[in-house]
Structure formats: C-alpha cells, structure tokens
Chains A and B, each alone.
Chain A
Amino acid sequence: DTGVSQDPRHKITKRGQNVTFRCDPISEHNRLYWYRQTLGQGPEFLTYFQNEAQLEKSRLLSDRFSAERPKGSFSTLEIQRTEQGDSAMYLCASSLVGLEQFFGPGTRLTVL
C-alpha cells in the first residue's frame, strides 16, 4: 500500500448526470476526508469519516452530494444532477486520529 488512491482521475459529464468517485485510503488509517478544490483556491472541507461513521458535513455539501464509507474501508462520493458549478478537483485524504493527513491525487470533474 503506497498511499491514497482515487478513481477515476478525470471525469467529464454532462449537466444533470450523476457521478460517483471512489477513494481508497491508506489501509490502517481510520479517518477519511473529502475536500473540493477549485482553480486558484485551496481545498475546502466537505466531509469526513471515522471508520464507517460520517462525523461532519460541510454546508458546502448540498443535498445532491452523498458520501459513504461502508465497512470503514474505501469511500465513495456521489453527486446527483451535476451542475456546472460542481466542476472542481475532488480530493480525498486519510489519517490516523490526531496525525497528518495524506492526500490522494484527486479526481478532476468537468461538467459540460
């Protein structure tokens, strides 16, 4: 296990379609975070899990967004009825409680 992986790396979709991203954290890490990064900005927190429990959701996460982490391993982030404003890089990070977060390469979403 060499780090956090994310799939796909790039996704192009049409407005109104649903998309799902996957994140595989470092295996022993119990915390998993999702961030969104738009061009020229720093990442913004979306949500995080400790094991399988979703502990916090940002107000940025509208009802069209849902995240899961079944069995406390990989996580998925789904966006329903995508809008052009959803175009961004979606970053996943994992950590052990209280320690540094390790980031994945991100999934770049383009909504046409």
Chain B
Amino acid sequence: AQTVTQSQPEMSVQEAETVTLSCTYDTSESDYYLFWYKQPPSRQMILVIRQEAYKQQNATENRFSVNFQKAAKSFSLKISDSQLGDAAMYFCAYGGGNEKLTFGTGTRLTIIP
C-alpha cells in the first residue's frame, strides 16, 4: 500500500517570502502522479500543482513549483512571493494506477503580514 508523509504539521512565512513544504511517499509502482492540494479554512480543496512520475522536469504553476526527487521519493512544494491568500492546509497526495488518491496529514501554512 502507498503511504504519504508530511512531517511539518505547521509552517509560517512572512508575506512576500518563500516557503517550502515537504512530502515523502512510499510506493512500489513505477507509474504514478503526485499532487499538492490546498484547502482554505471552511472552503473546498483545490488542486495547486501536479507532477507525473515519468517526467523528469519539475512542474511549475506561477508562484508554485515542486522539487520532485523520484529516487528519494520526495515531492516538496515551493511557494514564492507568499501572499495572504496562500494561507491554508496543504495536502500532498499520491495517485497510482487505480487513480484513487492517498493523502498525507497536511501542513497548515500561516502567512505573516
């Protein structure tokens, strides 16, 4: 079975600074997807970024980028120029062959004005 570990329950960052959220996973599959989802307080979960395991190039979406290290089974999220609207719970998720998602326990990100 796949597992996803987020070892940082809480993180904080000054507005306009950069922060990196960590995620590690375990799997025996060779073909899979990795995702970062954002869940603002009392609002629904939205996809931030996704990475296909077969792609060596790290995914980027505007201020959000990932550092995907397949051999180390590591998938960190970097948020540049942090904004107040980035405050949320961030979940790392693994999607394998059956496409159900396995989530980590989340990291609560606080933005300090």
Query: Which of A's residues lie within 8 Å of B, judged by CB?
Result: 4, 31, 33, 35, 40-45, 48, 55-56, 91, 93, 95, 97-98, 100-106
Contacts and interface: CB of A to CB of B under 8 A. Distances in A.
21 contacts: A4-B44, A31-B99, A33-B100, A40-B106, A41-B106, A42-B106, A43-B103, A44-B103, A45-B100, A45-B101, A48-B99, A48-B100, A56-B98, A100-B35, A100-B47, A101-B47, A102-B47, A103-B37, A103-B46, A105-B43, A106-B44
A43 B106 CA distance: 10
Interface in B64-107: 91, 93, 98-106
Of the four ranges (under 10, 10 to 19, 20 to 34, 35 or more), the interface on chain B belongs to 20 to 34
B99 A91 contact: no
Nearest to B43: A105
A94 B50 CA distance: 16
B45 interface: yes
Nearest to A100: B47
B8 to A, nearest CB: 13
Contacts, number: 48
A99 to B, nearest CB: 9
A103 B44 contact: yes
A63 to B, nearest CB: 20
Contacts of B44: 4, 103-106
Contacts of B104: 42
B100 A56 contact: yes
A101 B101 contact: yes
Contacts of A56: 98, 100
Nearest to B106: A42
A109 to B, nearest CB: 16
A100 B50 contact: yes
Nearest to B92: A42
Contact of A91 (B4, B45, B93, B106): B45
A42 B47 contact: no
Contacts of B98: 55-56
B102 A45 contact: yes
